[in-house]
Structure 1
Amino acid sequence: MAFWVMVAGLVAFSGFRHDTGTDFPLYETLLEQLDPTQAWWPQMVASPQDPGFTLLSLICLSISSDVQLVMIVSAVLTVTPMCLALRYSSKTLWFSMLLYVLLAGYLFPMNLVRQGIAVALNFYAWRYLDSHRERFLLINAVASLFHLSALVAAALQYVLRNIRPGRMFYTTVAVIAAAGIAILALPVDSLLAGNDSRYLEYLETARKNALDIGVGTIATIVFRLGTLVYTGSARSNTGEHRRFQVFATATLPFLCVGVFVSAVARMELYFASALLILLPRVAVSRQPRMLHITGIVMAASVYFVATLLSFYDLLPYQIWVPSPTDPWFAGW
């Protein structure tokens, strides 16, 4: 019962936000272009959004023309699979759910709504990596309808599922990350732009904006390296621990390349969920236990505050309060 109360609270806080977050006005505008009274398939084909999210939007808009219903249903599809996956894999559920919030896994879907749903479904599917692999494929196929990147993440996870986190693996990760940085750091703007000064100016501006965003990504890399050293120093021979360590380490190449291309950094979201299980397991296995738990919570709290103040534009938080004049009640 307590579990579902926590889930309901997380769903409500996310789903009932209104005009909060950098992407909320964008989704509002896009949803206003959909008409559930017209044929759905042509709208799904023409929509700039993924077909699964467009279909979900049309279903919700056929019930109420208020965009808020889409946000509430999206929150259910994001929070519920994440929490169910944590309940399945975590031995200290309260700790994992706390880190789910503090490590910003709960925050990012308030902006990246479609990818948030895809990441949650992908994380839920991890339980089927060893058995019932057809379910792993099916769930990720559904996730890809909300964000195509889920297929790339699922393929990588399937390849990495039995890799041992040894020296060769860490060296490979470092080489891939360094190669990505080296390629993207090259001064290729003039080559891409040719002799057109307009394109050259555009590329230079884009690179500058990417580097501005990359400062936060670099901070995330530093924090991630610290957590990986902590979890990697734990002496555990279980295959599950090794898999989660490999998945968590796989975030680094995406983050390193993401310093220059922010969209690539978002791929790490599919792998970072491993820390929600790894960190609590390592903390409760060490002595003094309370000291380790307190240290992780304090570090995660600093990360949470820094993320909240720097990204997502979630402050000030505004809550949606329905009234009889809202489109929500139309047709009821």
Structure 2
Amino acid sequence: MLVYIFLFLIVFCLLQIGTHKLFKSFNLYKLVYIIIFLFSAFRFDVGYDFPLYYKLVTKQHKFIDAQLDRLEPLSKALIELSYDTGFFQLFFILTSFIIVFFTYKTIKKNSTDRIISTLIFLSFPIFFFNSLSIVRQYVAVSLMFFSYTYIKSRKLIPFLVITFFAFLFHKSAIVAIPLYWIYNLRFKNIHFFILFVASFFSAKLLYLLVAALLPDYIIYLDKNVGVGGDKILLVFQLIGFFMLFFIDRKKNNSDYRFYTNTFFIGLFIWSSLAPYGHAGFRGSLYFTVFSILLIPEIISLFKQKAIIKKMVYLLCFIFFIFTLIVGKLNPNKDPNIPYRIYFFTDKDEFKIPK
């Protein structure tokens, strides 16, 4: 656990030091993301799905051809490239680069507080920690996060191109297509209130909508795999509840309006489909990811910004530690601990005897 705490403290300290005028020329913000990239890229046996991906990359998986054929084209291409080069870690390096690079670029360009946004990305379990497990989907999520550049500038074709590439990494990206049109939606408080309340009673309705509009995806609800992230969902529901009281304060700010729209739509999807396992949580990611940009906007609404920011710093650290503790309680596999480095890990234990 200490290596993770060290990562958080290094990131936090560099971000704080980078705000000082003596160090602004060093671009410590970029250095932070280089560190996060290296931490992700050279991890070994970290993340729930790491063993699965490693077996695919090394082609030790049973019925390997059938397993590879079910993957999306670009995900399959990266796995094949890693196998062909004989450098099996290449898959994790390339996917980590895509995730971290597009997150870095999006926060840099759009966040009103890069420190807060970076800490939210790093500490909230549905973002960075999640990217270590649901690798293919989080590549798609990071691309759709970056697509905000084109959503904001109303460039439909580039947005659709980004969405297409995201789909080639993970087909769930199809649910993110409405993002472009959500930008112009002007909800009122009553609409958010209805959406918030309805999320507690709409499981069956949303199930039927998925069955009618996206029948190929209904299998993921029927499988009822995993859990719906109940603990972190509760946190997001609390955030949503408190947002209802001051949501109109920046209603003429297009960025804030978009982040708010996506937050409540994502929360509706997540809450409604939570009874069906992690399908709802994963489907909502394309919307809740904009919370990384939303939270700095919320902080700006308060007069005591300095105090609120310090409270958020503390909450981020608590979430970070909480994620590690919850991982240790997992009866099957701790997804994060021990943190193992590719260069110092014996790969033989992952070989399947012939």
**Do both proteins adopt the same fold according to a TM-score greater than 0.5, normalized to the shorter chain?**
yes
Distance 1:217 1:100, change over 3 A: closer
Match of 1:202 in 2: none
SS in 2 for 1:246: helix
Q: Helix, strand or coil: the match of 1:54?
A: helix
CA distance in 1, matches of 2:30, 2:66: 33
Query: What are the superposed Cα offsets for residues 297-327 of structure 1, whole Å, 9 maximum, x if unpaired?
Result: 223333333233224721221122169x99x
Which of 264, 283, 290 is residue 274 of structure 1 equivalent to?
290
Shift of the alpha carbon at 1:247? Answer: 0.8
Once the two structures are aligned, what percentage of the paired residues are identical?
21
Which of residues 340, 343, 350 in structure 2 aligns to 1:318?
Answer: 340
Q: In the TM superposition, what are the counterparts of 1:209-288 in structure 2 within 5 Å? A: 213=228, 215-216=230-231, 218-225=233-240, 228-229=243-244, 232=247, 234-261=249-276, 262-288=278-304
Measure, in 2, the Cα distance between the counterparts of 1:55 and 1:227.
44
| Structure 2: distance between partners of 1:162 and 1:116 | 26
Secondary structure at 2:260 match in 1: helix
Residue 44 of structure 1 contacts residue 54 of structure 1 at CA under 8 Å; is this kept in 2?
no
1:78 touches 1:117 (CA, 8 Å); kept in 2? Answer: yes
Q: Is the 8 A contact 1:214 1:260 kept in 2?
A: no
Partner of 2:132: 110
Matched, 1:80 2:101: yes
1:284: Cα distance to partner?
3.9
* Count, aligned residues: 298
How is 1:40-79 mapped onto 2 (pairs within 5 angstroms)?
47-63=69-85, 65-79=86-100
Report the AA paired with residue 167 of structure 2: S
| Structure 2 counterpart SS, 1:222 | helix
Instruction: Read off the aligned partner of 2:289 and give its amino acid letter.
Output: S
Cα deviation, residue 46, structure 1: 5.1
CA displacement at 1:85 relative to structure 2: 0.5
Is residue 58–residue 83 contact of structure 2 (8 Å, CA) maintained in 1? Answer: no
For residue 214 of structure 1, report the CA deviation from its aligned partner: 5.3
Q: Secondary structure at the residue paired with 1:164?
A: coil
Contact map agreement 2:137 2:170 (CA 8 A) in 1: yes
Secondary structure in 2 matching 1:67: coil
Give the whole-Å Cα distance in 1 for the aligned partners of 2:292 and 2:245.
13
How far the C-alpha of 1:230 sits from its partner, in A, is 7.3
When residues 231 and 119 of structure 1 are mapped into structure 2, their CA distance, relative to the original with a 3 A threshold, is farther
Distance 2:234 2:60 in 1: 39
Aligned-pair distance for 1:118? 0.2
Q: Secondary structure at the match of 2:178?
A: helix
1:330 aligns with none
Change (3 A) 1:29 1:46: closer
**1:159-215 deviation per Cα after TM superposition (whole angstroms, max 9, x unaligned):** 322112313532552465245335599xxxxxxxxxxxxxxxxxxxx76x75x6553
Q: What is the CA distance between 1:60 and its match in structure 2?
A: 2.7
> 2 CA distance for matches of 1:256 and 1:276?
19
Q: Secondary structure at the match of 2:339?
A: coil
Cα 1:271–1:14 shift into 2, 3 Å:
same
Q: Choose 176-185 or 137-146, whichever is displaced more.
A: 176-185
Q: 1-side partners of 2:188 and 2:286: how far apart?
A: 22
TM-score (norm: length of structure 1): 0.79
Contact 1:251 1:268 in 2 (8 A): yes
Contact 2:189–2:244 (8 Å) recurs in 1: no
Shift of 1:43: 5.7
Given the superposition, is the C-alpha separation of residues 102 and 45 from structure 1 closer, same or farther in structure 2, using an over 3 Å criterion? closer
1:97 to 112, 118, 123: 118
**RMSD over equivalenced CA pairs, Å:** 3.2
Q: 2:228·2:281 contact (CA, 8 Å) conserved in 1?
A: no
Partner of 2:51: 25
- Is contact 1:231-1:279 (8 Å) kept? no
Please tell me the residue identity of whatever aligns with 1:9. I
The equivalent of 1:199 in structure 2 is none
Q: Check conservation: 2:46, 2:336, Cα contact below 8 A.
A: yes
User: Residues of 1 paired with 2:325 and 2:245: CA distance?
Assistant: 26
Question: Residues 184 and 306 (structure 1 numbering): CA distance in 2 closer, same or farther, change over 3 Å?
Answer: farther
Q: Distance in 2 between matches of 1:4 and 1:12?
A: 13
